Structure 1
Amino acid sequence: MMRHNFKSLKIWQKSMDLTDLTYDYCKALPIEERYNLIDQLNRCSCSVPSNIAEGSGKRTKAHFAEFLTTSLTSSFEV
């Protein structure tokens, strides 16, 4: 069984930085975007580290790779 300590992974740490930067950036956007752009940016930025963390608990490297791919896709969305 393969497991990673996701908090020690550089990619997870960097994705948390991305989430912090995204939240800070969104604070400066117009309030009219609260339920559109801001919500979408915040949700997909949170998805990046969440998928890395979830994938780290999977049993195989292939499953982990799937979650990393989903995480990458979310980063493209940001």
Structure 2
Amino acid sequence: MENFKFEKLRIWHSAMDFGELIFDTSARFPTDEKYNLTSQIRRAADSIALNIAEGSTGQSHKEFRKFIGYSLRSLAEVVTCLHKAKRRKYLNEEEFSSFYSQAFTLMNSIGAFRATLVVKRASKPKEPKT
């Protein structure tokens, strides 16, 4: 069986795992957060892997880098939601620290992968020497 390009990427697998952890943990948030913080953190967490997948189908490294950037922004959104959840006492310090550490590791992995996607720039023609 053939695989899609993104299924071969460790960052995609890590993002998928992280998204499932966020989903499971957010299920414990109060019901009055269902359409607010719970929905927001789940959508942002899912968006990390979704953007990696979408970007991998692009026609260029430049386009893939753009979608990897969206993944990083979604990850930052998740971290902000985690801060909100901690402040609202939906997460204790130990849970928050664990998620924060995982998010930081994922951010570094995604950033390192993004750096490998070299964008070829058209070089300017050199001026003739006179």
User: Could you tell me the TM-score, scaled by structure 2's length?
Assistant: 0.56
Distance 1:9 1:76 in 2: 20
CA distance in 2, matches of 1:8, 1:34: 33
Q: Does residue 70 in structure 1 map to residue 70 in structure 2?
A: yes
CA distance in 2, matches of 1:53, 1:25: 24
Amino acid at match of 1:24: D
Runs of 4+, deviation exceeding 4 Å: none
1:1-78 matched pairs, under 5 angstroms: 5-78=5-78
Distance, in Å, in 2 between the alignment partners of 1:69 and 1:62 is 11
Matched AA of 2:57:
G
Q: Distance in 2 between matches of 1:57 and 1:15?
A: 17
Matched with 2:118 is: none
Q: Give the gaps of 5 or more residues in structure 1.
A: none
Runs of 5+ in structure 2 lacking a partner? 79-130
Percent identity over paired residues = 39
Q: Which has the higher helix share?
A: 1
User: Taking structure 1 as the reference length, what is the TM-score of the superposition?
Assistant: 0.92
Distance 2:59 2:27 in 1: 39
1:44-66 residue CA offsets vs partner (Å, 9 max, x unmatched)? 11111110000001011011000
Query: What do you get for the CA RMSD once the two structures are aligned?
Result: 1.0
The count of residues paired between Structure 1 and Structure 2 equals: 75
Distance 1:57 1:5 in 2: 8
